Structure 1
Amino acid sequence: MSVINNTRQKSSSQLNQWPQTISAYIEVTKPKILVMLTFTSLCASFVAGRGVPSFSILFAMLVSASLSAGGSAAINMWYDRDIDVMMERTSKRPIPAGLIDPPSVFWFGIFLGILSVVIAYIFVNPLTAWLNAVGYVYYAVVYTMWLKRRTPLNIVIGGGAGAFPILIGWASVTGSLNITALLMFLVVFLWTPPILGH
């Protein structure tokens, strides 16, 4: 009987951990930032289409853009786990708090990034897929791994990551980029550092 009871207790404990685990995986995607970036893509698609774009294209673009942003954020959390544990603001993030292990977050981030590109390529267009990939690498590698710990200019140069959703939204509707899209990109790129600096 004790063996059966222990088995039931373990099963019950594992079931109780699922909501916490799912919540932790959602948190590593930085959902608040993700929503802002996705909204930026949405706005750009409306401007590019001069109205409401095709729902199927819009939906696929938003899903792929969200996966790209969330995946790169997960890689950011995975890479910064050593410094996150030392700061009060970040010490309660899922990895420093011990809610999920670093390799799981790494592969989760990689999976989301790949899925983002695949969805955009199949359901939107190749340019949108390529821009999702470049935006992902920009934030996960250029900003997180290369700039962040090397120079205080990381916020200035890293602002490009926050501007990529403009290009993604625009390309999803038109299949191309033009001067208007690039100017909108520059507005967000130049606007990001002052906002983050305050």
Structure 2
Amino acid sequence: MTAAALPPPADWRDFLALTKPRVMTLVVFTGLCGLLAAPAGVPPVIGFTAILCIALGAGAAGALNMWYEADLDAVMKRTAGRPLPAGRMDRPAALQFGVGLGAFSVILMGLAVNIVAGAILAASILFYVLVYTVWLKRRTPQNIVVGGAAGAFPPLIGWAAATGHVATLPLLLFALVFLWTPPHFWALALFVQTDYAKAGVPMLPVVAGERATRTQIGLYTIPMAVTAILPWLLGLVGPIYGAVAGITTAVFAVLATHVATRATQANDPMTPEKRLFSYSILYLFVVFGALVADRWVA
């Protein structure tokens, strides 16, 4: 290979892009809420370290995902500008960055915080990379259903960082994010399904069609809504969480029902699918924020 054919050297912005910072924001927030909602107080330095490790671990998973899926990203319009398909970075650099960042985050969490939090963090990275990215994504339209567990770990990690164990409430938070993921991601898949079809990724709208996807969005919203309210019904949280979760989940259900009962997409810039996708992100921020407010006010 000649010098002219070598990719240009990557700068810090390309390495930051590998970590999927927009996705990381929600991951870090739910992890922080899990930590703050735990009954045990955490020294600020330990708390900061735990959240830093969650952020680094999420970034490592994102980098390894982009390393493995560079060929898919090059085909899809939505991802073609990422560092690897755009030629601003080579794959070995992305692999080394992802492995190094992941190992550092797990070791630091285990040594500076506690072994339980470190083990769950390691499991979350491995699950996202090996189970979702390598095994499921290219093989089954249920990739998002099972793979959604990867994004559901942060509340467990935050709680474990504060207490050294897990309990019913963080498990319910895990279940909430797990059940939230299919309607959230399938709403996105409905309006970018052409990209997935072009790349040969068997997302549900590509394999089963729009009608089946819309039905599944509606069906998954039911257990998600029940799970969102369960912490209040079980007396694990107070009325602030109960009220906020009840109202915001009702809005989610209305939007999901609109998507589920819609015959097909229109060409307007803000379809029900886009509304549901955008609201679903806000939904988790608000519900988890209410959890912390409820704990602190109580």
TM-score bracket, shorter-length normalisation: 0.7 to 0.9
Among 82, 93, 98, the alignment partner of 2:71 is: 82
TM-score (norm 2): 0.59
Q: 1:121: Cα distance to partner?
A: 1.1
- Runs (5+) with no aligned partner, structure 2: 1-7, 188-298
Instruction: Say whether residues 1:28 and 2:18 are aligned partners.
Output: yes
- Runs (5+) with no aligned partner, structure 1: 1-16
Instruction: Say whether residues 1:57 and 2:57 are aligned partners.
Output: no
Structure 2: distance between partners of 1:38 and 1:126 = 19
Structure 2: distance between partners of 1:79 and 1:106 = 8
Structure 2: distance between partners of 1:184 and 1:97 = 37
Partner of 1:14: none
- Aligned sequence identity (%): 43
Structure 2: distance between partners of 1:36 and 1:184 = 14
Partner of 1:177: 166
Partner of 1:4: none
Partner of 1:11: none
Q: How many residues in Structure 1 have an aligned counterpart in Structure 2?
A: 180
Among 38, 45, 50, the alignment partner of 2:35 is: 45
Q: 1:178: Cα distance to partner?
A: 1.2
Q: 1:106: Cα distance to partner?
A: 0.4
TM-score (norm 1): 0.88
Q: 1:21: Cα distance to partner?
A: 1.3
Instruction: Say whether residues 1:120 and 2:120 are aligned partners.
Output: no
Partner of 1:155: 144
Residue deviations 1:87-143 (CA, integer Å, cap 9, x gap): 111111000001111000001000011001111011100001101100000111110
Structure 2: distance between partners of 1:83 and 1:163 = 24
**Relative contact order (alpha carbons < 8 A, sep ≥ 6): 1 or 2 greater?**
1
AA partner of residue 32 (structure 1): R
AA partner of residue 154 (structure 1): N
AA partner of residue 24 (structure 1): D
Residue aligned with 1:27, SS = helix
Q: 1:181: Cα distance to partner?
A: 1.4
After TM superposition, the runs of 4+ consecutive aligned structure 1 residues lying more than 2 A away are none
Among 122, 127, 143, the alignment partner of 1:133 is: 122
Structure 2: distance between partners of 1:54 and 1:153 = 41
Partner of 1:102: 91
